[in-house]
Amino acid sequence: MLVPFVRTLILYFTVITAVRLMGKRQVGEMQPDELVITILISAVISVPMQDIDIPLLHGVVPVLTLIAAEVLISTLSLRCPWLRRLLSGRPVPVVRKGVIDQKALRELRFSVDDLLEELRLAGLFDLREVCFAQVETNGRLSVLPESDCAPATPKQHGLTVSPASVPALIIADGEVRENALRQIGMDRAALETILRARGLKSPDQVFLLCADPGGDILLLRKE
């Protein structure tokens, strides 16, 4: 029983390492070559995991080979636009000024139902509100609404707003993130002052605390 357990763990960590090397894209955002590599890895790794008579290297070596090939192809794709187009294709416009390009939909095997569903997910329920839409190389639909249907911005209203800043996660489930404290220029003394002002004695009582350099605080107590 110990041998299958150890083999499975080794193969598990091998696949985790392989996926990390491939990058942070989600499955729905993978390019065709990345998706093929993922499918092949899952197929290759399952055989030595189930059959202990097969040497472990027969699973590890193919996975490492596939990942090396993927990294090489990705690097070449960055330098060779023609190779990138060959592997991933091109974005295909499907809607212009509310008019559907029916030929493009047929070539993509994209039904009208698929198109309208993607538009609804983008918050557009009327085709006439779409200025431009195209199917990207990863299969997702990018949509540009008509100017009079897009959400208004402060700039359009002539309003001046404070510059945006990224809140840092200072406390997560009672644990203080020292790096986050330094990121916004806060020290432990300032943190303790914030907690005392809200009637809290220690970070252990905090479920979540976020703060930005401007002093905006979001604090949730533990329940």
pLDDT tens track for 15-44 = 777 666 665 554 555 666 677 777 777 777
Whether residue 131 is contained in a domain is answered as yes
Say if residue 112 is in the same domain as residue 75: no
CATH code for the domain in which residue 136 is found: 3.30.240.20
Number of domains in the chain: 3
User: If you average pLDDT over residues 162-174, what whole number do you get?
Assistant: 83
Whether residue 12 is contained in a domain is answered as yes
pLDDT attached to residue 33: 67
Whether residue 154 is contained in a domain is answered as no
Whether residue 158 is contained in a domain is answered as no
Say if residue 102 is in the same domain as residue 77: no
pLDDT attached to residue 29: 58
Say if residue 101 is in the same domain as residue 176: no
62, with CB counted inside 10 A (0-12, 13-18, 19+), is middle
Contacts of 181-186 with C-beta under 8 Å, sequence gap 24+, read: 184/211, 184/212, 184/213, 185/213, 186/211
Express as a percent the part of the chain with pLDDT over 90: 13
Say if residue 54 is in the same domain as residue 109: no
pLDDT attached to residue 108: 87
Q: Which domain holds residue 101?
A: 92-149
